[in-house]
Amino acid sequence: MSNKYSNLFQPIKIGNMEVKNRIAMMPMGVFSPRLMNNDGSYSKDGADYYIERAKGGTGLIVTGLVPVVSIRKGMPCIVNNPETYVKNQKYLTEGIHKYGSKVVIQLSGLTGRAGAHGTEPVPAEIQNVWDPTKKNPGMTKEDIKQLIKSFAQGAYLAKKAGADGVEIHAVHEGYLLDQFVIASMNYRTDEYGGSLENRLRLPIEIVQAIKAECGKDFPVLLRFSVKSYIKAFNRGALPGEEFEEFGRDIEESKIIAKALQDAGYDALDCDNGSYDSWFWPHPPTYMPKACNLKDVREIKKVVDIPVICAGRFDDPELADKVIGDGEIDMMGMGRPLLADPYITQKFENGDLDNIRPCICCHQGCLGRVFQGKDISCALNPACGREVSYEIKKAALKKKVLVVGGGIGGMEAARVSALRGHSVDLYEKNANLGGVFTSAAAPDFKDDDKKLLSWYKKQIRDLKINVHLNAEVTEEFIKNNNYDEVFIATGAKERTLQAEGLEGDNVTYAIDTLLKGNVKGESVLIIGGGLTGCEIAYDLSKKGQKSYYY
């Protein structure tokens, strides 16, 4: 065990809850019917997803949101069936506690104007995120009072089911409670709108109601977006961009954070952004690492309760330093724990080379959730299917051939070897990686490069027989008596047949990415898919101007 990250592996108290280390799993949507029951508890598969991360050493597990209200038929809701919720949820809480971790259930009043159906209530009538021609209906005082009561009831049920605390969802990401707190989204003229004190009334009354119901020592966290980074409705601001904040700025957030602490919240779980600037709370590969840290540091200056920071924050050395310096209290990770549920354990053991990195692609996580599918991971298909997709030794050892050494071929070889088979991997080029090598070439693709390094290390460590600069023929396969053959030769780059495209000033994507051989200030890019966009972005960083067709 490594002592390198001593600050990261110190215990911390959130209220009366002691967490064994400073690493928290961030809440992510896990509410498909296979993973969440209609009563708001997790199914066995859903619970096993969280339990696996506790088994991997993560100190605090914050579950994805569970609604405390139900606005559509069939929507899970924690308060609809209290008895079955408590009974079913105990499998989750007991499973997490088995590994010495703590679990906090995130309770949600839902999305308001970010609801896809445009019918979810909001503080006062306001335009919908997805269809600005629609306006979501405003809430009555009776609606607000019932919402507060439902939060308190949901917290009581979570406590009864064995949860160590709850997290309120929240003054965050432009969801319902955030809409109450942001002046430009709350047009109410009663005691829940207008002044900052009034706009904070709802989240404050929620924590007061929970403490009254569950006891003042029951931990209540709040999910908190420090800065909105909104220029206007549906217009987000980029890092470093000068703009006038339409949402919440740093100075107002400092006042809010202090007020929330004084009201009784036990920790602030922080990032940035809104649905209008979604690349802050869900940063893609184009966003800087630890993109929210600078702003979250400002909040720690004004509160005494623990502050958690999330957002492409997967560097244990940086986390250890800022925790040691008292700038934040906990490191929050979401997607990195999907890609590798044992990342915490590997931090602690100093085993960083064996961490499967998140590449911030959004394909298996956010992308699937918004298609109504189970949460998963593009790099870790066992995410969300921890038991049924567990890699086990095969009953019969086989001789396996994998043709093609790209990502697909390396994964086929890796899993086959883990199952105990004898594996030969043939690649016709001089290096493993295939076309992913070119995809990883830009300087903003460091995590892609780490993924390639991780795969190559797994191939070496598993002692897979790798043959480079070697092509496989049908005759070769027939003569070598393989039990199983994987063909993973990938796709070929398409070329265009048109006059003038044979010139020296014409280059195709793979060659462009690998060699960076584009000259001149003005560049024409034919094709506006992801590859074309990434080449244009890379060229723009080098001062070259691109045009699309």
- Residues 198, 191: Cα–Cα separation, whole Å: 5
- Name the maximum alpha-carbon separation found in the chain: 82
Per-residue pLDDT, averaged over 104-108, amounts to 97
Predicted pLDDT at 1: 57
| Residue ranges, CATH 3.20.20.70, the chain | 12-369
The residue among 43, 85, 272 whose CA lies nearest residue 178 is: 272
What is residue 403's predicted lDDT score, i.e. its pLDDT? 98
**For the packed helices 316-324 and 293-300, what is the interaxial angle rounded to 10 degrees?**
20
Strand 399-403 with 60-62, pairing: unpaired
Q: Which amino acid is at 15?
A: G
E strands, 255-398, in order: 267-271, 307-309, 330-333
**All CATH 3.40.50.720 domain ranges in the chain, comma separated:** 399-487
Confidence band, pLDDT 50/70/90 cuts, at residue 317: very high
Which 8-state DSSP code applies to residue 110? Answer: -
SS3 at position 529: coil
Q: Which helix (H) or strand (E) holds 444?
A: none
Q: Which helix (H) or strand (E) holds 264?
A: none
- In 37-164, DSSP assigns E strands to 60-62, 66-67, 102-108, 126-127, 135-136
Beta-carbon contacts of residue 460 (< 8 Å; ≥ 6 apart): none
d(CA 544, CA 387): 50
How is residue 25 written in tokens?
A: 């799993």
Phi, psi of 365 (to 5 degrees): -100, -90
* Token couple for 383: 């995410």
Q: How far apart are CA 25 and CA 54, in angstroms?
A: 9
Q: The pTM is what?
A: 0.95
| Residue 501 or 174, more confident | 174
pLDDT of residue 14: 98
318-364 per-position pLDDT tens digit: 999 999 999 999 999 999 999 999 999 999 999 999 999 999 999 99
pLDDT higher at 286 or 115: 286
DSSP 8-state class, residue 493? P
Active site residue 175: yes
Under 8 Å between Cβ of 368 and 59: no
What Rg value do the Cα atoms of the chain yield, rounded?
Answer: 25
Catalytic residue among 42, 85, 175, 229: 175
Q: What average pLDDT does the segment 166-184 reach?
A: 95
Q: Residue 538 burial (CB < 10 Å; 0-12/13-18/19+)?
A: buried
Q: Tell me if 224 sits within 8 A of 270, measured CB to CB.
A: yes
In the block, which residue shows the tokens 């445009």? 118
The stretch 454-461 carries a mean pLDDT of 98
CATH for 399-487?
Answer: 3.40.50.720
User: Which residue reads 């997790």 in tokens?
Assistant: 42
Q: Please report the pLDDT score of residue 528 as a whole number.
A: 87
The fold for domain 12-369 equals TIM Barrel (3.20.20)
What number is the average pLDDT over the span 359-382? Answer: 92
Lowest mean pLDDT among 291-295, 428-432, 449-453, 509-513: 509-513
The count of other CB atoms within 10 Å of the CB of residue 430 is 7
pLDDT of amino acid 503: 82
Say if CB 223 and CB 170 are below 8 A apart.
Answer: yes
Question: Using CA atoms, how far apart are residues 221 and 102, in angstroms rounded to an integer?
Answer: 13
Average model confidence (pLDDT) across the chain: 95
Using alpha carbons, select from 339, 453, 319 the residue that is nearest to residue 4: 319
Interhelix angle 44-55/82-97, nearest 10 degrees? 30
Of 77, 52, 88, nearest to 163 (Cα)?
A: 88
User: Does 211 have pLDDT greater than 60?
Assistant: yes
* Measured distance CA(14)–CA(307) in Å, rounded: 10
Quote the strand ranges of 200-290, DSSP E: 220-225, 230-232, 235-236, 267-271
Once rounded to an integer, what is the mean pLDDT over residues 121-135?
92
Other beta carbons within 10 Å of 350 = 13
Look at residue 117 and tell me whether its pLDDT is greater than 80: no
pLDDT of residue 548: 61
Tens digit of pLDDT for each residue in 52-76?
999 999 999 999 999 999 877 778 9
The Cα 49–Cα 35 span in angstroms is 9
Instruction: Look up residue 293 and give its two tokens.
Output: 């840290």
Distances (CA, A) of 132 to 59, 69, 83, 126, 244: 41, 24, 40, 9, 21
